[in-house]
């Protein structure tokens, strides 16, 4: 690890934090993005490689990051799409039998800027009070302050266009029980593993794929993946999903859940600081069972006034809708990540519910 250089992080409201530069140090100016915080205690590599963080700078609330290194198996996508990473203490010497490298080298390899030595407790408290907001960090304080002032948020942006694939690909065994087409809004590899374990052969298609092209593949079901940013900013997504409803069973998670909600008339909400972590309590309304869930989103949907839907899950921290199903079509969605990675396994049953829905309508 090279000797760090002094750096500064500045929020759009002018609040500043001192630290040291780690990872990739850009030559073309400071790192900029919407700054959010994640409360997970482990799984930093999976978090960094979750495409849902496109457009954002990730602050880790757990103080010691990088202690068990990185490896190829824990990557959730082809590369990190986040704009940067903020930590209290970046481990200089990782120790784990699975490690094939250290986090600082990983950040430099993938050109992800980082800043360490930041008072992440103060930063998190500020974001909780004032909300996730744009900001910038780097080694040139004057340039950082100018970039923070000019930085914009994620509202209205089609960040999915940055992360989705260009050409379809397949995952799983072709003679599996179920044939599923998955929209890649920013899909994670662990989702494909869980769909495969549930007996699904998956064709992953770009986010812009028309509904007619999907139906022409004659799938047993359609999966709407997680992804970054504003669901209303994803060009044509809600209209495409609306055309699929009633034609084939649909299961959406995270951004896919939000797009499904917009397709049936729900209202988009922007949360103050979002849900980013691996310990969010969610109540399953039908059973009263509380699931501890992994989440990563800044937006949500409000079903008020929407007919033909039933809320199935609710967040016990803030009352946000965490799941719903359609009453007149085989479709449902959840706001959280049933595949976790990182996180608890409480919600894995939802993949079986999806295959059960396909069996019931097949």
For the annotated catalytic residues, the residue numbers are 254, 337, 339
DSSP 75-131: -SSSS---SEEE-SEE-SS---TT-SB-HHHHHHHTT-EEEES--HHHHHHHHHHH-
The candidate with the shortest Cα–Cα distance to 87, out of 113, 56, 103, 64, is 64
Phi and psi (nearest 5°) for 216?
A: -65, -20
Q: Please give the distance of CA 302 from its chain centroid, rounded to a whole number.
A: 19
Distances (CA, A) of 341 to 39, 77, 318, 347: 14, 12, 23, 12
Separation CA 184–CA 222 (nearest Å): 11
Rounded Cα gap, residues 208 and 166, in angstroms: 9
Per the CB < 8 A criterion, the answer to whether 56 and 32 are in contact is no
Rg (CA), the chain: 20
CA–CA separation, 183 vs 206, rounded Å?
6
Tokens for 172, please give them: 């799983």
Q: How many C-beta neighbours within 10 Å does residue 51 have?
A: 27
CA distance 318 to 74: 31
Tell me which residue of 263, 253, 245, 193 sits closest to 225, measured CA to CA.
253
CA atoms within 13 A on the CB side of 280: 30
Which tokens sit at 154? 């994620």
Q: Measure the CA angle with vertex 299, ends 90 and 156; round to 5°.
A: 100
């Amino acid at each position: 690890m090279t000797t760090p250089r002094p750096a500064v992080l500045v929020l759009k409201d002018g609040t500043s934090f001192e630290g040291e530069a780690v990872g990739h140090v850009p030559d073309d100016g400071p790192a900029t993005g919407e700054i959010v915080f994640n409360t997970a205690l482990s799984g930093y590599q999976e978090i960094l490689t979750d495409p849902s963080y496109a457009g954002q700078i990730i602050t880790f609330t757990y103080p010691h990051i990088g202690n068990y290194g990185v490896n190829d198996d824990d990557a959730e996508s082809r590369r990190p799409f986040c704009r940067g990473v903020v930590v209290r203490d970046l481990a200089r010497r990782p120790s784990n039998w699975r490690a094939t490298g250290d986090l600082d080298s990983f950040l430099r390899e993938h050109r992800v800027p980082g800043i360490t030595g930041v008072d992440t407790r103060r930063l998190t408290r500020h974001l909780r009070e004032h909300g996730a907001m744009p900001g910038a960090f780097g080694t040139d304080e004057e340039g950082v302050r100018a970039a923070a002032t000019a930085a914009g948020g994620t509202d209205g942006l089609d960040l999915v266009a940055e992360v989705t694939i260009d050409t379809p690909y397949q995952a799983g065994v072709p003679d599996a029980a179920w044939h599923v087409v998955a929209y890649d809004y920013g899909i994670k590899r662990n989702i494909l593993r869980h769909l495969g374990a549930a007996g699904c052969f998956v064709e992953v298609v770009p986010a812009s794929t028309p509904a007619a092209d999907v139906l022409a593949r004659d799938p047993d079901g359609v999966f709407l993946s997680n992804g970054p940013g504003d669901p209303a900013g994803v060009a044509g997504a809600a209209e495409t999903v609306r055309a699929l409803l009633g034609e084939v069973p649909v299961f959406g998670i995270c951004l896919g859940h939000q797009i499904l909600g917009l397709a049936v008339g729900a209202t988009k909400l922007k949360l103050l600081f979002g849900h980013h972590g691996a310990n969010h309590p969610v109540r399953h309304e039908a059973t009263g069972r509380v699931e501890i869930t992994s989440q990563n989103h800044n937006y949500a949907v409000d079903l008020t006034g929407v007919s033909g839907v039933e809320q199935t899950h609710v967040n016990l921290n803030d009352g946000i809708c965490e799941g719903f199903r359609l009453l007149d079509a085989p479709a449902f969605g959840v706001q959280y990540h049933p595949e976790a990675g990182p996180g608890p396994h409480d919600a894995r049953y939802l993949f079986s519910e999806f295959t059960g829905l396909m069996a019931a309508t097949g």
